[in-house]
Structure 1
Amino acid sequence: MVEGSSITVTIQFLLLLFFTSIFISASSFPQDSHSQDEHQDKPPSYLKMVANASEFPLEDYYDYIIVGGGTAGCPLAATLSQNYRVLILERGGISHGRLNLMNQEGFLNTLLNANANNEDSPAQSFVSEDGVLNARGRVLGGSSAINAGFYSRADREFFTNSGLLWDLKLVNESYEWVEREIVFRPQLKTWQSAVRDGLLEAGVGPYNGFTLDHASGTKIGGSTFDSSGKRRSSADLLRYARHSNLRIAVYASVERLLLASSSTTFSSSAIGVLYRDENGKYHHAILKDRGEVILSAGAIGSPQLLLLSGIGPRPYLSSWGIPVTHHLPYVGHFLYDNPRNGITFLPSIPLEHSLIQVVGITNSGAYIEAASNVVPFSSPPQTAFIRSPASPLYLTVATLISKISGPLSAGFLRLASTDVRFSPIVRFNYFDNAVDVERCVNGTRKLGDVLRSRAMNDFKFRNWLGVRDFRFIGPALPHDQSDYGEMADFCRRTVSTIWHYHGGCVVGRVVDSHLKVIGIDSLRIVDGSVFSISPGTNPQATLMMLGRYFGLKMIRERERSTDDL
């Protein structure tokens, strides 16, 4: 721990600020690679399609109803709207006009101000049963509008092991469609450059430079912040939509799916959704002939809505008094989150604000990332010995983190209430599987290698004996990093989230290879809940690609079925 009167008093506060700040990963100081004129001052064009849910008719008809205007939902809607009438139902509001969301400097405040009960808060907080503080997006753009902006494509193994039959040509075209609009190349400054050099000294090679592809070794990834620090999110992909075909309802809380039974096929089919506006009034959105409801509410929201609609394990639903529409035993199961562990220290030189720009992709099951923040803090209450400053004090903190590339440890989701506005109960069971522990130990040992590199020397302080060392805030790595037991204990004691939730509606158990819900017609899920593996180092690139990809696939499917009639 750091010694000194005023610094010691503020340690816990700094820990709260900084450990909360590493969210999904990010890059900053990007270079100009797009025309930015339309993004600087004037409102985005998609606002013409947005209205408060209270302004929508009590009943209306659509070809596609998308529940959740998030990372996958927005590109999906933009694509489908080229041919069909589409409705997005987003439980939150919009990001435009909210400086904390639109500017990378406000990223930390958004997470610190996450509110579980305020429906206008763009981030909804909850604590898992593992005791780890979490947050998820509640705004048009979803978590892509509150994350730290890091953009990197999935690894090749993901496409082999995800359970889907991918058209890799269409995958690449879908990635490129996303990247043309919202991805930028960052410029490294002091801290990120040092981390890059430290990773290479620690043997995380080769150096791959700037690339959007997943590449073993050390690389610079893309950013969804432009050169002025302004955020892009999946909502910006709505500029590709056909405005006459797309309507977006914000502050629309979907209560349940509307399902109908077939007397001939003995199956159920989605026919629409029931949603409530912020005034408590109910609305019905109904499917047109051959239409579909698509859940894009994420790894927390999609399984929750299935359960509330009577789709899930029969005994469990009956215990809640929820009428069972379809027995589907694995809804809410196989839920994963990639654990994060790391260290934070005070550097001996001033550092710029940076979110994650550099990634070390090791061959031992872990990814290494870093960030630096200039953090404001309050001094201790005024005493006879300390005069409160007239202006805020600022302190730079730096962090190195390790995220395992698994995990194999699986958790589950249960209802906390039959009110959809309350987050369900979630347990991720971090480190239940011994392989995850081994990967964490490998990653945290690599952090030690980076700290011992020459690239890190400039950030050390010299003590009264003339020895240079780091001034850690919070737990430091164990002194004997060869001791597997100590390192495993460090992993368990310091575990936190990297906000890369996935699972809960996984392929082969809840949805089929076309992402259709098994046993329910006209119902599909297009979001991270279908994955049992998180794609690459950071999921948002692949989730945006997924929305575009399945939008194109669905249009082609429908065109073929029309030709067959």
Structure 2
Amino acid sequence: MYDYIIVGGGSAGCTLAGRLSEDPNVSVALIEAGGADRSILIHCPAGLAVMAKFELNGWGYNTVPQPGLNGRKGYQPRGKVLGGSSSINAMVYARGHASDYDDWAARGNPGWSYADVLPYFKRAEHNERGADDFHGEGGPLNVMDLRSPNPFLSSFVEAGVQAGERHNTDFNGADQEGIGAYQVTHKNGERFSAAKAYLTPHLGRANLKLITRALTTRVVTENRDGQVHAVGVEYRADAGHGAVQTLRLKPGGEVLLSAGAFGSPQLLMLSGIGPAEHLREHGIGVVRDLPGVGENLHDHPDMVMVVNAPKLTDLFGLSWQGTVNTVRAILEWHRSRSGMLTTNFAEAGGFIKSAPEEAIPDLQLHFVVGKLVDHGRKTVFGHGYSCHVCLLRPKSRGTLRLASPDPQRAPLIDPAFFQDPDDMARMVRGFKRMRALLQQPALTRHGGVESQASASAQTAAQIEQFIRNHADTIYHPVGTCRMGPDGDALAVVDAQLRVRGVQALRVIDASVMPQVVGGNTNAPVIMMAEKAVDILLR
């Protein structure tokens, strides 16, 4: 029996397990569906390209057909390994805009303003630049500038300045807007996932039990005096194929769901907690009718432009010279943990406005030092570079639903991309802004030529069709167990992250975000788990 049972060994789950088990009198069990994070592809930063290419260490989810994508299914990679998506992502450390958190608080979630959450960002962080008003030093999560940045980044930053943007050296400081290099979650030339930061150094603790390759199938509940209480979880070992086993809570203990924007609502519904009619359709007994479970799904829609630049053989690419570069890079990384393989590929980017009248940036750029097509799953020959543009605060809202009462069946994921016409209007403007930046002299002097796939899209209507034919996620799904006040009929958890109407059960991951932040979601999820620890211990 345990004081805390944590479901999901991703960014939130590792943070919770590491922090809660600091007290030797508190017993913690962490259950992860994937295996241990031993692969060299995880620890070598550039290994993410191989993992993306062959869809390794992930759930391999896809969306349902998206009308906004001309009927295509979108790809939704989520980490299925210790460390979760922090073990397979591009390692960008970005928190979002301060106003994002002020908006959460204004929606009726006290304690979640930027002033409230900044101390937790700082507590989590060890920034190699040192501490200041916005950054921490001495925290578990190592944050640093790229160890061996590609020299071509300076051309991208120069092009951004030529396009009218300012050079920003700290997207997590006083002002988010501008173009520059990203800081990353690396350490000594290796990926520094949430598992490496919070969990694996402490696996020797007697009060911390880790169970990997175990698929949680439901939260066990009991009715006591007219109230529903979580009392434990059931899981199947051996990646879901073994016998059903049960972990139980001590009196006063809690179950903490950190299975992500897809896994947490799925598990709630499998446990009879969710929209009653939908549960009955699948023959699941209703424990607690919560209509908001699985609602409010949204994500950052993203578009990539590729530029062919055959002369830039120092960029990643499939060619004879590229092969030679890679062999040299493997030897250098093996010898000194430096060189090309310390890249996160999305080495630079920025936060810009789709129109001058926008109060804050509504678009994010990720500049990639190689040609990226279909999430890196399509083989592309030659050298060049790519640039993403994504919409930071989409208005479209979709759903997460069960496909089956079988826990091993993937859920039905519908982010409803571009359902709201404002999202497409902003993306068209964003595409034009990105193209204008990539056509500045600092980049064109290198002889790059926009790929024909996008170059043929010139009018607004053509650009819109290009976006619908090629856009997809940039891996930031949120909102399916959203946090909200008592008056919010679709709120699943309160500001203390407690599931409404169920005692001893909380959700702590990206699913509780009422609105996606204007930036990458890994750092915010770690912050939320840091804050949740204080909530629990209070």
Which blocks of at least 5 consecutive residues in structure 1 are unaligned? Answer: 1-60, 115-120, 376-391, 462-469, 558-565
CA deviation after TM superposition for structure 1 residue 182, in Å? 2.2
Q: Give the secondary structure class of the aligned counterpart of 1:248.
A: strand
TM-score, scaled relative to structure 2: 0.81
Aligned with residue 465 of structure 2, among 457, 473, 489: 489
CA deviation after TM superposition for structure 1 residue 311, in Å? 0.6
Q: Which residue of 2 aligns with 1:8?
A: none
Q: Which residue of 2 aligns with 1:443?
A: 430
Q: Does 1:155 align with 2:76?
A: no
Q: How does 1:490-505 map to 2 (within 5 A)?
A: 490-505=466-481
Q: How does 1:177-326 map to 2 (within 5 A)?
A: 177-180=123-126, 181-186=141-146, 188-205=149-166, 207-213=167-173, 215-228=176-189, 230-236=190-196, 237-238=198-199, 239=201, 243-262=205-224, 264=225, 266-278=226-238, 280-326=242-288
CA deviation after TM superposition for structure 1 residue 191, in Å? 2.9
TM-score, scaled relative to structure 1: 0.77
Q: Which residue of 2 aligns with 1:27?
A: none
Distance, in Å, in 2 between the alignment partners of 1:443 and 1:414 is 31
Q: Which residue of 1 aligns with 2:530?
A: 548
1:442 alignment partner AA? R
Distance, in Å, in 2 between the alignment partners of 1:307 and 1:363 is 39
Q: Which residue of 1 aligns with 2:62?
A: 127
Quote the RMSD (CA, aligned, Å): 2.2
Q: How does 1:15-414 map to 2 (within 5 A)?
A: 61-83=1-23, 84-96=26-38, 98-114=39-55, 121-129=56-64, 130=66, 131-162=73-104, 163=107, 164-166=109-111, 171-180=117-126, 181-186=141-146, 188-205=149-166, 207-213=167-173, 215-228=176-189, 230-236=190-196, 237-238=198-199, 239=201, 243-262=205-224, 264=225, 266-278=226-238, 280-347=242-309, 348-353=311-316, 354=343, 355-364=345-354, 365-373=362-370, 395-414=382-401
Aligned with residue 427 of structure 1, among 414, 427, 440: 414
1:126 alignment partner AA? Y
Q: Which residue of 1 aligns with 2:451?
A: 472
Q: Which residue of 2 aligns with 1:519?
A: 501
CA deviation after TM superposition for structure 1 residue 67, in Å? 0.3
Post-superposition Cα deviations, 1:242-298, rounded to whole Å, max 9, x if no partner, equal 822211110111010000112x3x221101101111151221111111111010000
Distance, in Å, in 2 between the alignment partners of 1:188 and 1:106 is 16
Identity value in percent: 29
Distance, in Å, in 2 between the alignment partners of 1:198 and 1:533 is 32
Aligned with residue 510 of structure 1, among 486, 492, 501: 492
1:190 alignment partner AA? P
Q: Which residue of 1 aligns with 2:520?
A: 538
Q: Give the secondary structure class of the aligned counterpart of 1:183.
A: strand
Change (3 A) 1:529 1:541: same
Distance, in Å, in 1 between the alignment partners of 2:20 and 2:476 is 26
**Are the equivalent residues in 2 in contact too, given 1:343–1:476 (CA < 8 A)?**
no
**Are the equivalent residues in 2 in contact too, given 1:64–1:287 (CA < 8 A)?**
yes
**Are the equivalent residues in 2 in contact too, given 1:336–1:532 (CA < 8 A)?**
no
Distance, in Å, in 2 between the alignment partners of 1:185 and 1:506 is 33
Post-superposition Cα deviations, 1:364-406, rounded to whole Å, max 9, x if no partner, equal 321122102389xxxxxxxxxxxxxxxx996323101100011
1:175 alignment partner AA? F
CA deviation after TM superposition for structure 1 residue 532, in Å? 2.9
**Are the equivalent residues in 1 in contact too, given 2:348–2:368 (CA < 8 A)?**
no
**Are the equivalent residues in 2 in contact too, given 1:343–1:477 (CA < 8 A)?**
no
**Are the equivalent residues in 2 in contact too, given 1:62–1:287 (CA < 8 A)?**
yes
What stretches of structure 1 move > 6 A for 4+ residues in a row?
Answer: none
Which blocks of at least 5 consecutive residues in structure 2 are unaligned? Answer: 67-72, 127-140, 317-342, 355-361, 373-378, 485-490
Aligned length: 459
Post-superposition Cα deviations, 1:496-515, rounded to whole Å, max 9, x if no partner, equal 11011111111121111111
**Are the equivalent residues in 2 in contact too, given 1:141–1:233 (CA < 8 A)?**
yes
CA deviation after TM superposition for structure 1 residue 170, in Å? 6.0
2:101 alignment partner AA? F
- Of 65-74 and 489-498, more deviation after overlay is shown by 489-498
